[in-house]
């Protein structure tokens, strides 16, 4: 029983996390200037003061709203464009190089354009997050569609299946693994885009308070805010994982 527990992946993950936290605690208390980093025990105790900071709860709600909307739009746009490019040989040869070109552009360099068009409100952060998240989803959907065996499409057409039936019963099941892999990458991109926009052009949201705590040399609150942000990202990732388990249950 003990040997089984030691070899269990969950126990191994917990052990790695505990070792990292212990190493962080030791380094922060005895080897690193507390002006730059705080030990995890102090960060945990300071979470109450983080939430008590004026406007921080509202900033958390705003950032979560921006993340949710940007991620939903990135998934919709990514799936639609991915199917349009992946299901057509002409579309793939014509538009896939353009998608790769746009994806290769450092997004931060065009942030001023988003501010010019959308202002400094939530719309700019959402739009900037969408541009970070939709490209991984597009490429994942294209890869998933192109991995479908041609015999499956030919067989479906020969049996009189309509385009919608082919999409629903052939294309959709086969692209599910790639789609959710792209969604995980897209979610990370959306998070990055929203926070970058908040760091540079916002007076609210987690990004703004992250910048403020940094400038005030308050590593305890800064790391507490980062921990809250990490918990938010983990919750969204778990939501995507559960979605994959539900929609891909046929594989079991």
Average pLDDT per block of 10 residues along the chain, 252 residues long: 58 77 78 73 77 80 87 91 82 80 79 81 86 90 82 78 77 81 87 84 74 78 81 81 72 57
Q: For the chain, give the number of residues.
A: 252
pTM here is 0.80
Please say whether the beta carbons of 49 and 228 come within 8 A. no
CA dist 206 and 229 (Å) reads: 8
pLDDT of residue 85: 84
pLDDT of residue 95: 82
CA dist 82 and 95 (Å) reads: 10
Question: How far is residue 245 from each of residues 79, 242, 251, measured CA to CA in Å?
Answer: 19, 5, 9
Please say whether the beta carbons of 201 and 120 come within 8 A. yes
pLDDT of residue 158: 80
Please say whether the beta carbons of 29 and 39 come within 8 A. yes
pLDDT of residue 73: 93
pLDDT of residue 3: 57
Q: Cβ contacts of residue 195 below 8 Å, gap of 6+? A: 63, 206, 207, 210, 229
Helix (H, G, I), strand (E, B) or coil at 147: coil
């Amino acid at each position: 029983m003990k040997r089984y527990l030691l070899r269990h992946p969950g126990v191994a993950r917990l052990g790695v996390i505990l070792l990292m936290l212990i190493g962080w605690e030791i380094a922060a208390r005895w080897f690193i200037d507390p002006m730059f980093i705080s030990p995890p025990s102090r960060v945990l105790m300071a979470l109450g003061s983080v939430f008590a900071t004026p406007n921080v709860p509202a900033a958390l709600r705003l950032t979560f709203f921006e993340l949710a909307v940007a991620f939903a739009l990135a998934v919709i746009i990514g799936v639609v464009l991915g199917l349009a490019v992946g299901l057509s040989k002409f579309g793939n040869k014509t538009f896939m190089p353009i998608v790769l070109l746009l994806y290769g552009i450092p997004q931060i360099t065009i942030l001023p354009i988003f501010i010019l068009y959308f202002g400094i409100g939530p719309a700019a952060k959402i739009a900037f997050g969408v541009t970070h998240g939709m490209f991984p989803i597009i490429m994942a959907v294209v890869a998933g569609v192109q991995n479908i065996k041609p015999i499956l499409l030919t067989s479906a057409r020969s049996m009189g299946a309509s385009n919608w039936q082919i999409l629903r019963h052939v294309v959709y099941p086969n692209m599910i693994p790639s789609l959710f892999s792209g969604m995980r990458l897209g979610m990370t991109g959306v998070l990055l885009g929203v926070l970058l926009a908040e760091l540079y052009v916002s007076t609210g949201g987690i990004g703004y308070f992250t910048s403020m705590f940094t400038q005030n040399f308050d590593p305890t609150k800064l790391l507490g805010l980062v921990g809250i942000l990490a918990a938010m990202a983990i919750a969204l990732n778990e939501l995507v994982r559960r979605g994959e388990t539900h929609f891909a249950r046929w594989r079991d």
